[in-house]
């Protein structure tokens, strides 16, 4: 039995969307981890609406739902990193805008932007129009992904500035209410394009579930000082220690309990897991992942370009697995995976994968023995 559509995820945005669409499409299905609306055995729908939170496995999860319901078109309502939707088959991106305290009214009062292949966006726009949802179609899903992320970031920056004003108010003994009255007076005498937001300062963190979370996505792809200011108010900001002077790119993802020695370089989008120890004078460029509890001795050098300079054409990923240890002065040629619990002797040059729980050393590094005592033949 084929249905007009299904909404996957019936939370803060998916629930109101489902309620709105069901008025126009009584056979609309709604699926959530705790609820199924309609016929659970239905395996075919016209349009699938995805309203689940974004995570690293988001495309895989969407693909599984596509396999279950075989939709003609998939509409991604989730706020995603730029470029996510174009990697999903027959998908368009249509972020939800509105006041989260009154999302049901916002669904029909705000214009719904739809980004993607025009042959798909026109089908989705027709679907929405029948439900009383106004639409604007654009030809690239990256546009709508960027617009939603920067919209949230712009709001976040306004909140950050409100905190700055509050600190000045405290310094000069002025109630913050005077700031609100000042801006209200200004707004009463200018047109809508010049009105200033009336916001309360955030205190130690910025509340809500989307502003800071999505600022991380934007900062990972397009780092900027404005975005970094928002991230300073992240209530879940990792706590790590960097000793002395080190160059740590703001898009690097560094977890709790990491200890970084002086004079290190940690490049863009590097991922470092919990409780990693990094010695002084290490070079860790983009494309390197170091998992939790690893130990990286002083002067360890990673690479990311097989035939430099290739302009990223020959860049390869390197992974140091959980609990692996690299002695002082080790060089790791890109493309290698250093296995969980393994040990690399000081001064070695790693040119290929090292299995878990083995000791390697030399130039190039070679197998010495297993941790259980078994030696090389």
The answer to whether the CB of 91 falls within 8 A of the CB of 65 is no
Stretch (H or E) spanning 137: strand 135-138
pLDDT of 46 higher than 80: yes
Asked if 164 and 51 sit in the same domain, the reply is: no
CATH classification of the domain holding 310: 2.160.10.10
Asked if 270 and 315 sit in the same domain, the reply is: yes
Asked if 224 and 332 sit in the same domain, the reply is: no
pLDDT of 361 higher than 70: yes
Asked if 295 and 375 sit in the same domain, the reply is: yes
Antiparallel, parallel or unpaired: β 277-278 and 259-260? parallel
Residue 63 CB neighbours (<10 A): 15
Asked if 84 and 177 sit in the same domain, the reply is: no
- Position 38 scores a pLDDT of 47
Domain hosting 259: range is 238-377
Asked if 196 and 242 sit in the same domain, the reply is: no
Q: What percent of the chain has pLDDT above 90?
A: 66
User: Model confidence over 288-304: pLDDT tens digits?
Assistant: 999 999 999 999 999 99
323 phi-psi bin (left φ>0, alpha ψ -120 to 50, beta other): left
- Position 58 scores a pLDDT of 95
CATH classification of the domain holding 179: 1.10.1040
User: Model confidence over 242-262: pLDDT tens digits?
Assistant: 988 899 987 888 998 999 999
Give the rounded distance of the alpha carbon of 304 from its chain centre.
22
């Amino acid at each position: 039995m084929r249905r007009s559509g299904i909404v996957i995820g019936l939370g803060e945005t998916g629930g109101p969307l489902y309620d709105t669409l069901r008025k126009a499409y009584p056979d609309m299905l709604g699926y959530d981890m705790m609820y199924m609306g309609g016929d659970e055995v239905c395996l075919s729908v016209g349009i699938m609406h995805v309203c689940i939170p974004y995570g690293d496995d988001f495309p895989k999860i969407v693909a599984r739902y596509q396999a279950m319901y075989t939709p003609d078109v998939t509409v991604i309502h989730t706020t995603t990193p730029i470029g996510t939707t174009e990697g999903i088959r027959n998908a368009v991106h249509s972020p939800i805008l509105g006041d989260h305290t009154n999302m049901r009214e916002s669904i029909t009062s705000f214009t719904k932007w739809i980004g993607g292949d025009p042959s798909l966006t026109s089908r989705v726009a027709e679907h929405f129009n029948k439900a009383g949802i106004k639409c604007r179609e654009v030809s690239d899903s990256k546009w709508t992904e960027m617009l939603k992320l920067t919209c949230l970031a712009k709001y976040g920056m306004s909140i950050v500035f409100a905190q700055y004003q509050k600190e000045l108010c405290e310094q000069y003994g002025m109630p913050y209410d005077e700031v609100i009255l000042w801006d209200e007076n200004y707004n009463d005498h200018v047109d809508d394009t010049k009105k200033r937001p009336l916001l309360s300062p955030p205190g130690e963190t910025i509340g809500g579930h989307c502003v800071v979370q999505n600022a991380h996505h934007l900062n990972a792809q397009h780092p900027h000082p404005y975005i970094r200011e928002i991230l300073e108010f992240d209530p879940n900001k990792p706590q790590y220690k960097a000793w002395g002077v080190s160059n740590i790119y703001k898009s690097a993802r560094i977890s709790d309990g990491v200890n970084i020695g002086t004079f290190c370089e940690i490049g863009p989008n590097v991922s470092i897991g919990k409780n990693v120890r990094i010695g002084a004078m290490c070079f860790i460029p983009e494309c390197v992942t170091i998992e939790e509890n690893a130990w990286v001795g002083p002067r360890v050098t990673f690479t990311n370009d097989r035939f430099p300079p290739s302009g990223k054409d020959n860049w390869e990923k390197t992974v140091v697995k959980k609990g692996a240890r690299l002695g002082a002065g080790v060089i790791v040629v890109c493309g290698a995976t250093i296995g969980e619990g393994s040990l690399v002797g000081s001064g070695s040059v790693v040119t290929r994968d090292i299995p878990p729980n083995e000791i390697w050393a030399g130039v190039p590094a070679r197998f010495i023995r297993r941790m259980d005592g078994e030696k090389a033949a």
